[in-house]
Amino acid sequence: MKLPTLRRDIVCRQAVELVTDYLEGALSRRDTRRFEAHLRACDGCDEYLRQVKATIEALGRVEPEDLAPETREGLMELYRQFLED
Amino acid sequence: MSDDELVRRLRSRDESAFAELVDAYHPSMVRLAQTFVSSRAVAEEVAQDTWLAVLKGIDRFEARSSLKTWIFRILANRARSTGAREQRTTSVDVSDESAVDGRRFDAGGTWSDPPTHWSDDVVERLSSGPFVSQVRAAISELPGSQRAVVTLRDLEGLSSKEVCDVLEISEANQRVLLHRGRSRVRARFENELAKQ
């Protein structure tokens, strides 16, 4: 029987798939250590994580569209009708 | 304004409480509904129906979740069934999808074409006003289920648990959709920056 790959280092293609679980705190302690060890040794994956964080930051800046006054008025009208019914 | 206070005022038919809720959540609700249905107009209708359901149901609200999560959950349910009637597929995404194009790794799985460094200036530009239209475009191109999760997590700032409550999905599924959505948006930014 083949030994499980417990001690094997992760490669870049695997590391990029672990980024979200890492940021979500969903990796086991052992996988977190392996992931961080990989990042320390790999500029490409370190940069990749940095880019994902920058992406999340940029997403967080997107505001919903402003509420149009006529939409708001329509909803307040809906409210008054609801109370009458 | 705390949820308790808002709920109390809504139950006592205080119109200003309803106005506050509309101001706070309606635009976000339309944005979320659009991830399930075909058009902005239909999303507005779904949001409007949701407000009626909120008014009818407020006496039964038990504060097991925040008021926002409760409202969003009603919205998501309605938007999902409306989307299903429109025959938009919002089925769970189970396809195999890599975060990064496999051709960028060598046979051993190491980068052969690693990401180009984003300087602090570049990172700042991503979050700047002029780039917002690119970010919106990137979000609108996501498959529906990824878009819903990214919208709730990264745009609305809900916790993973709240997102699972609103969309009625598991934590694991939530993470997969979030991962794929964020990965796609990063890749799109990378392409966009390479053009500039």
Please provide the CATH number assigned to the domain covering B3-85: 1.10.1740.10
Please check whether residue B108 touches A, CB under 8 A.
yes
Q: Is A37 a domain residue?
A: yes
CA distance B84 to B71: 20
Instruction: Cite the residue boundaries of each domain of chain B with CATH code 1.10.1740.10.
Output: 3-85
Gap between the terminal Cα atoms of chain B? 45
Q: Is A2 a domain residue?
A: no
Q: Do B110 and A50 touch (CB under 8 A)?
A: no
Domain with residue A55: its CATH number is 1.10.10
User: What amino acid is encoded at A77 in this protein?
Assistant: E
Indicate the residue of A52, A62, A75 with minimum beta-carbon distance to B132: A62
pLDDT tens by residue, B39-89: 999 999 999 999 999 999 999 999 889 999 999 999 999 999 999 888 765
Mean pLDDT rounded to a whole number for chain B:
93
CATH of B102-195, one of 3.40.50.300, 1.10.357.10, 1.10.10.10, 3.10.20.30: 1.10.10.10
Quote the percentage of chain B above a pLDDT of 70.
95
**For residue B90, what pLDDT is reported?**
52
Q: Is A44 a domain residue?
A: yes
Task: Provide long-range contacts, Cβ within 8 A and 24+ apart, for A76-81.
Answer: A76/B15, A76/B18, A76/B19, A76/B22, A78/B48, A78/B51, A78/B52, A79/B15, A79/B18, A79/B51, A79/B55, A80/B15
Q: Is A43 a domain residue?
A: yes
Chain A residue whose CA is closest to B41 = A71
pLDDT confidence of A2, banded at 50, 70, 90? very low
Chain A residue whose CA is closest to B126 = A58
- The ipTM (two decimal places) reads 0.91
**For residue A9, what pLDDT is reported?**
84
The token duo for A40 is: 């320390």
